[in-house]
Amino acid sequence: MESSEYLNLANYRAGFIAVIGKPNVGKSTLMNVLLQQKIAAVSPRPQTTRKRQLGILTTEQAQIIFVDTPGFHTPRHKLGEKMVKAALQAIEDSDGLLFLLDVSEPLTPEDFDLAQKIQPFQSSKPTAVALNKIDIAKDEFIQQAEALVSEQLPNARVVRISCLRGDNLDHLTALLIESLPESEPLYPLDQVTDYYEREIAAELIREAALNILRDEVPHGIAVRIDQFQEKYDHLAVIDATIIVEKENHKAIVIGAGGKMIKQIGTQARQEIEAMSGRKIFLNLHVKVQKNWRKNETLLHWLGYT
């Protein structure tokens, strides 16, 4: 869809849905699946999402603007504080809420804390609760999640979904559309995110690093795009720097004979090419910025403020 001329705007709906859940519950995966395009970094590591990102789904009936929020957690540095603040702000600014629970495992205290944070908004913001990963869930975990919703969020509507298999995603989308106000589209019909291509590229490089490196390194990693040069419609050259906090982390990222950074570059390049639809030349560098997650100036330089 390229023009609103083809839409029936008489009963059209548009608005913002804050996607809420603990770290690594599948928020970014759900958004990527619904948009049928990868715009958000996904990895098995917690706190993969660090910034607020919009995912814009436009249909003939509505435009749902998903606000992919960083997972709620107890912050241990300035970056963590900004992540939690961004998530709280998304709830305040949204038209509706989508609370995601992972029912492939028992609920955690974080899930209960989040339900309590959402509770005060029940009267003002329509809320949907998605029980994710039902393809591998045990009945007892599903029942535990439904009991939590019944007790803490009695006005919420519950949908059992699987991002992997696609179970009930159409039903979930229909529920979210019902919660939106009547409005013309708020974004161009062909726009799928508020991120620029270079910002998505940075996130995909970080995703590759999260997937490949050992557990003790990823949380101290950031990526900055130093140059994004479009040579032709079918070619772009990207120079990027992977920021780490310690000298020994730099050695791990580079790897023996440059093996590790080559793997990161290969995986990231393939993802960026799939996203952009053109060939990518990717040059990666590694730089140490000690304690960057606690440094307000560096957080601003890296785009977190």
Q: What is the pLDDT of residues 196-253, one digit of tens each?
A: 788 888 889 988 998 888 666 767 888 998 998 888 778 999 999 999 988 999 999 9
CATH number, position 43: 3.40.50.300
Answer with the one of 178, 210, 228 that is the final residue of a domain.
Answer: 178
pLDDT tens readout for residues 45-70? 444 455 667 889 999 899 999 988 76
Do both 35 and 162 map to the same domain?
Answer: yes
Query: Is 54 within a domain?
Result: yes
Which position has the token pair 């393809």? Answer: 135
Listed residue (172, 177, 173, 142) closest to 159, CA to CA: 172
**Which three-class secondary structure state does DSSP give residue 236?**
strand
Q: What pLDDT sits at residue 73?
A: 44
| Residue in 124, 150, 156, 129 with CA at minimum distance from that of residue 20 | 129
- Residue 273 to residue 279: CA distance in whole angstroms: 6
- Whether residues 56 and 121 fall in one domain: yes
Range of the domain at 26: 4-178
Claim to verify: residue 115 and residue 228 sit in the same structural domain:
no
Query: Could you tell me if 242 and 289 are in contact, meaning their C-beta atoms sit under 8 angstroms apart?
Result: no
pLDDT at 76: 53
- In a domain, residue 225? The reply is yes
In terms of Cα–Cα distance, which of 8, 78, 92, 12 is closest to 50?
78
Closest CA to 239 of 285, 303, 301, 298: 285
What confidence score (pLDDT) does residue 40 get? 66
What is the per-residue pLDDT for 43? 47
C-alpha neighbours within 13 Å on the C-beta side of residue 17:
33
Q: Do 162 and 39 fall into the same domain? A: yes
Please check whether residues 168 and 248 belong to one and the same domain: no
| End-of-domain residue from the set 178, 213, 241 | 178
Do 121 and 223 reside in the same domain of the chain? no
Q: Are residues 212 and 278 in the same domain?
A: yes
pLDDT digit string, tens, across residues 139-152 = 999 999 999 999 99
Distance in angstroms (rounded) separating the CA atoms of residues 57 and 189: 9
116 and 26 housed in the same domain: yes
pLDDT confidence of residue 24: 76
Q: Does residue 183 fall inside a structural domain?
A: no
Rounded to a whole number of angstroms, the distance between the first and last alpha carbons of the chain is 33
Cα 200-202-207 angle, rounded to 5 deg: 90
Share of the chain above pLDDT 70, in %: 84
Tens digit of pLDDT for each residue in 80-94?
Answer: 666 666 667 778 889
Do 145 and 206 lie in one domain? The reply is no
- Tally the domains of the chain: 2
Give the pLDDT band (50/70/90) at residue 6.
low
Q: Is residue 184 part of a domain?
A: no
Same domain, 168 and 113: yes
Report the CATH number at residue 296. 3.30.300.20
Residue ending a domain, choose from 151, 178, 205: 178
C-alpha–C-alpha distance, residues 108 and 87, integer Å:
19
Regarding whether 132 and 47 lie in a shared domain, the answer is: yes
Residue 296 is predicted with a pLDDT of: 77
Assess if residue 188 is contained within a domain: no
The residue length of the chain stands at 305
What 3-state DSSP class applies to 10? helix
Same domain membership, residue 169 and residue 26:
yes
125/180 Cα distance (integer angstroms): 10
Q: Is residue 247 part of a domain?
A: yes
Full-model pTM = 0.70
CA distances from 26 to 132, 264, 285 (A): 8, 22, 30
Asked if residue 190 belongs to a domain, the reply is no
Give per-residue pLDDT as tens, 21-31.
887 788 888 98
Residue 186 lies in a domain: no
Q: For residues 182 and 221, which has the higher predicted lDDT (pLDDT)?
A: 182
